[in-house]
Every structure is written in C-alpha cells, then in structure tokens.
Amino acid sequence: MAYETIIVETRSKVGLVTLNRPKALNALNSQVLADLLASCRAFEADADIGAIVITGSEKAFAAGADIKEMQSKSYVDAYMEDFFSGWEDFTRIRKPIIAAVSGYALGGGCELAMMCDFIIASDNAKFGQPEITLGVMPGMGGSQRLTRFVGKAKAMDMCLTGRMMDAAEAERTGLVSRVVATSDLLEEALKAAAKIAGFSLPAVMMAKEAVNRAYETTLSEGLRFERRLFHSMFALEDQKEGMAAFTEKRQANFKNR
C-alpha cells in the first residue's frame, strides 16, 4: 500500500514507520493519522511482525499537530468531526510500539510518543507541550499522560510555560526509557524491537496489556488482572517451550501460540 505521509518498511520481524513530512517537521495532520493507523493495523494483522518502531527525522519526531490544518476550524467543526479522536484508535494497537525520538517531539508529537509503549530518545531530543503559546492546551493526552509519566510539578511546568525538556531531563523524570547517541537511535530502537519480536507474541501482548492496566485501575484490581493473565499463560505452548528451554540450557524457540 502506498502512503502519502509515512514510509513503511519491515526489518525481519519488526515493522518500521517513518513519519515523512519533512517540510512541516512531521506535523500531524489527518492524513498522517490515517496513514499511521492503516500501517499499524496492517502490522497488527501480519503474523510475521512482532513489534513496531515509529520514528521521524533527525530534526523532528513530530513538531505537533498541524497548526495550519487546525487554525481555521470552528468549535462546531472540531466538535462535529470529533477532531483527532482517531488517535484513540492508535492506542488500541495491541502489538508493542516503540517511539524512536530524535529532535522535536512537541505538542501532538510528544503526545504521540507517549501513546507508544516506550520511548527511546536520542541525545538531541526535545519534548514539550507548547500549545499554551498558541492560545490552547494539550488535546491528545498531554495533560493526562504527561502528568502520569513525570508527575504534577513537571507536567504543570511544561503545560503552563510551554518550555521544552531535553533528553537528559526526560530520562531523569521517567518520560523516556533510555537515551542514546543520535547516530545510534534507529539501530538501538530496532534492536530493542527485534528482541521483543523474538519472544512469545501472546506473552508480549499480555504484558503490554497488564502494564497499561496499571494506568487505569486500582492496585488491587491491577494485581488481580495480572494474576489472571499469568495463570492463563500456562495454556500457552510458548510457556512450556520457554521453561523447557531454560531447564535444558538452550535457546527457546517460540511458536507464538
């Protein structure tokens, strides 16, 4: 399938999506949303794919929602079309997604990165929610996810002043899982994705579901949910294989069933 705003490749068992609107610093418009959703759904349906990486350019992961697309909308336009609600569908992709972030991840770009399962950042990455400088506020999860990831003080600081966080601060505050040299970013993200794709896919997907549940429920409910999923794993051939491989001191050969 041909995409207008992204480049889609596969690297062995990893699906790679590169945002590709260089003249607009990968600003997220409705076409990007449609392309990204279609590509991730195709990877979701492809039994050979075990993980997805989303990246941008060295200068920008994405500099936000497309201001030029938004600026003339009326309240009624935004409300009636439920503007950008499609991003919620992105969070329903069940296979693991890594955001490989270099350069600017601002506004919707930061929010897209946070919708992924974890973020690997290059040392030149800059995260921010600058919507306040445009007379608005975050609208794709920035006020909610950022607060859960970095806590109230930092989230308020970012959302109210619009200032950017560099990669070191993003790692210190828990927004990103690791920081690597800019030149190594894609390789490191693909390596992490390939590692995940080598494990049992049902186990990986259940682990993703369980961690995400931690953000939506109480500790006791989350623990019960985790235990039920854990019990269910004894129905997997991959559990038998994984544990047999350990005791037989050999590499596991998962069948994803």
* Residue number, 42 or 78, with CB nearest to ligand CO8: 78
**Residues 95 and 50: beta-carbon distance below 8 Å:** yes
Binding site for ligand CO8 (CB under 6 A): 24-25, 27, 63-68, 83-84, 104, 106-108, 130-131, 134, 139-140
Using CA atoms, how far apart are residues 94 and 244, in angstroms rounded to an integer?
27
CB of residue 216 vs ligand CO8: minimum separation in angstroms?
20
Structure tokens at 240: 């038998």
Q: Check: CB of residue 209 under 8 Å from CB of residue 94.
A: yes
Candidates 134, 95, 128; CA nearest to 109 is 128
Question: How many residues belong to the chain?
Answer: 257
Instruction: Please identify which residue in the block is written with the tokens 């040392």.
Output: 123
Residues in contact with 139: Cβ distance below 8 Å, sequence separation at least 6, in sequence order: 65, 84, 108, 131
Task: Give the integer Cα–Cα distance in Å for 228 and 168.
Answer: 37
Q: How far is the CB of 99 from ligand CO8 (least distance, A)?
A: 15
Question: What is the nearest approach in angstroms of ligand CO8 to the Cβ of residue 142?
Answer: 7
Select 32 or 201, whichever has its Cβ closest to ligand CO8: 32
Instruction: For residue 8, list its beta bridge partners.
Output: 17
Query: Between 142-150 and 108-115, two packed helices, what is the crossing angle to 10 degrees?
Result: 60
Q: What are phi and psi of 251, to 5 degrees?
A: -75, 135
Which 3 state secondary structure label does DSSP give 198? Answer: coil
Taking the least distance from each CB to ligand CO8, the nearer of 53 and 140 is 140
* Residue whose CB is less far from ligand CO8, 140 or 197: 140
Min separation Cβ 139 and ligand CO8, Å:
3
Mind telling me the catalytic residues?
65, 108, 111, 131
**Least Å from the CB of residue 157 to ligand CO8:** 17
* 233 Cβ contact partners less than 8 Å away, ≥ 6 residues apart: 202, 203, 206, 239
When the beta carbons of 63 and 192 are compared against ligand CO8, the nearer one is 63
What are the residues facing 11 on neighbouring strands?
A: 14
